[in-house]
Amino acid sequence: MTASERDKMAAGEWYSCLVDELEALRMTARVAVHQHNTMAPIERGNMASALRVLFGAVADDVFIEAPFHCSYGINIHLGARVYLNAGCTILDSGRVAIGAGTMLGPNVQIYCAEHHRDAVLRGQGLEVAKPVTICADVWIGGGAIILGGVTIGDGAIVGAGSVVTKDVAAGAVVAGNPARPLRRAST
């Protein structure tokens, strides 16, 4: 039996993002994101109901400012007291897990997809999804970019505007492009 492109995506294998099944999932996400981004704050509360239902897992006290964008939503898992500031984008072709007490500044971007390096295959929509894990009590500064395959340990700090291409140790403070250790966070 041949695996579907969605199954390949979930397994971290090369898949085509241009199939109808994945487009339908992205359309569902667009509708939920639109509801979240256009509702009056008093009606939306912490998060629009369509967005809450879309996510793989979400604690009751997660707060997501508008605007927000995600590609699928189904691969996003948010722990207790997670806060996403305005303009956050999570392109969740892979699993994105954000631990309890973590805060993302404005315009933080998380990218799970890595497109094929061969131009012909890239043109055919071939990509691979790499997970992102952001552990508990992490602070990601505004405008930071987190690439697929990265794990950020408990209590780490990522400086504003950083591009995180490699794992960040628990308690570390990193900044720059690419992000590099500055010092250990005080406990």
- Measured at the alpha carbon of residue 95, what is the angle toward residues 38 and 171, in degrees to the nearest 5? 100
How many angstroms separate the CA atoms of 87 and 83, rounded? Answer: 12
Active site residues: 115
Which of 106, 109, 33 has its CA nearest to residue 68? 33
Ramachandran region, residue 45 (left: φ > 0; alpha: ψ -120 to 50; beta: rest): left
- Measured at the alpha carbon of residue 81, what is the angle toward residues 41 and 39, in degrees to the nearest 5? 15
